């Protein structure tokens, strides 16, 4: 009987925790939808739920304490968002390779970061400042903040992983940035100054030659994505240089060693 009672109590606690996290998510989503641009920074539900006092109330607080917490969060999130973005940008500035890095370097097409803890590679700054490390939930040292392993598991599953520079292992993505530099140079751009937005406005196209003779045409971001995948596996057959039959003449050039060829209007 005591075992069944404990199980029921744990189940009720888990449902309460799940419902409170969902309520926090609604508040966070409301703030994100209020932003003028869809790509503007917004904290994640996990970022907010892992604030120590918020986490404590979600797990152990009374219903009135949680109602007060929700009201407080609605007014706090804009300030938290601005402070967190500034903190995270300062953190990643320290990882840039430039001698005197500044915020403008984040917009370069060649600026990428890796999270070595969960092996998430090639993060743009917008992704890096919002990255919740996938392996965070497995950090046993965090379970000390919970009454039991069951409550910790429930919170991990439903709250997700927050951004945490103390846990994640970030670094500048040297290999992928080097490959992007090759692509940018092949497109006739300066890799030290061209931004990702400027590259997106260009109409560079690359040809990929498969072993079966199939030719795929990629834009520059698709070419970068394809080349990045090759860094994690064997380089395929490059195929021989050729000419594409299109409305204007096109010379095909080899990009590095990844089997991509850029064709430019002559």
Q: Under a CB-based contact definition with an 8 Å cutoff, are residues 132 and 44 in contact?
A: yes
Q: Under a CB-based contact definition with an 8 Å cutoff, are residues 151 and 13 in contact?
A: yes
- Please count the CA atoms within 13 angstroms of the CA of 110 that sit on its side-chain side: 21
Instruction: Give the pLDDT score at 237.
Output: 37
Q: What span, in angstroms and rounded, lies between the C-alpha atoms of 83 and 106?
A: 18
Across the range 9-35, mean pLDDT stands at 91
**125 pLDDT exceeds 90?**
yes
**8 pLDDT exceeds 70?**
no
Query: Which structure tokens are listed for 103?
Result: 């915020």
Across the range 156-173, mean pLDDT stands at 89
Higher pLDDT, 88 or 2: 88
Give the contacts of 185 (CB within 8 A, at least 6 positions apart). Answer: 191
DSSP for 91-150?
Answer: HHHTT--SSS--GGGGGBTT--EEETTTTEEEE-HHHHTT---TTGGG-GGGGGGSSSHH
Q: Under a CB-based contact definition with an 8 Å cutoff, are residues 173 and 114 in contact?
A: yes
Closest CA to 223 of 249, 173, 198, 259: 259
Instruction: Give the pLDDT score at 198.
Output: 92
Across the range 136-141, mean pLDDT stands at 56
Strand order from edge to edge, sheet including 260-265: 215-219, 205-209, 260-265, 250-255
- In which band, very low, low, confident or very high, does the pLDDT at 235 lie, cut at 50, 70 and 90? very low
- Please count the CA atoms within 13 angstroms of the CA of 210 that sit on its side-chain side: 8
Higher pLDDT, 209 or 23: 23
**256 pLDDT exceeds 60?**
no
Instruction: Give the pLDDT score at 142.
Output: 58
Across the range 121-132, mean pLDDT stands at 93
Across the range 237-246, mean pLDDT stands at 31
Across the range 11-30, mean pLDDT stands at 92
């Amino acid at each position: 009987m005591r075992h069944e009672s404990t199980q029921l109590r744990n189940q009720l606690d888990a449902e309460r925790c799940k419902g409170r996290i969902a309520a926090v998510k609604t508040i966070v989503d409301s703030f994100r939808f209020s932003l003028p641009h869809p790509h503007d920074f917004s904290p994640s539900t996990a970022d907010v739920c892992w604030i120590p006092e918020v986490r404590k109330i979600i797990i152990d607080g009374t219903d009135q304490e949680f109602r007060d917490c929700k009201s407080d969060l609605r007014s706090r999130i804009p300030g938290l968002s601005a402070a967190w973005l500034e903190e995270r940008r300062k953190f990643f500035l320290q990882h840039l390779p430039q001698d005197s890095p500044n915020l403008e370097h984040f917009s370069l097409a060649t600026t990428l970061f890796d999270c070595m803890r969960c092996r998430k590679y090639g993060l743009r700054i917008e992704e890096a400042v919002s990255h919740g490390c996938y392996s965070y939930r497995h950090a046993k040292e965090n379970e000390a903040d919970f009454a039991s392993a069951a409550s910790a598991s429930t919170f991990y599953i439903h709250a997700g992983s927050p951004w945490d520079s103390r846990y994640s292992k970030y670094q500048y993505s040297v290999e992928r940035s080097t490959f992007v530099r090759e692509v940018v140079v092949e497109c006739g751009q300066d890799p030290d100054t061209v931004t990702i937005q400027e590259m997106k406005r260009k109409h560079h196209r690359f040809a990929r030659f498969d072993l079966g003779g199939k030719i795929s045409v990629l834009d520059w971001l698709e070419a970068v994505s394809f080349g990045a995948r090759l860094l994690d596996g064997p380089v395929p057959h490059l195929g021989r240089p050729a000419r594409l039959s299109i409305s204007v003449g096109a010379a095909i050039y080899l990009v590095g060693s990844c089997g991509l060829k850029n064709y430019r209007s002559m």
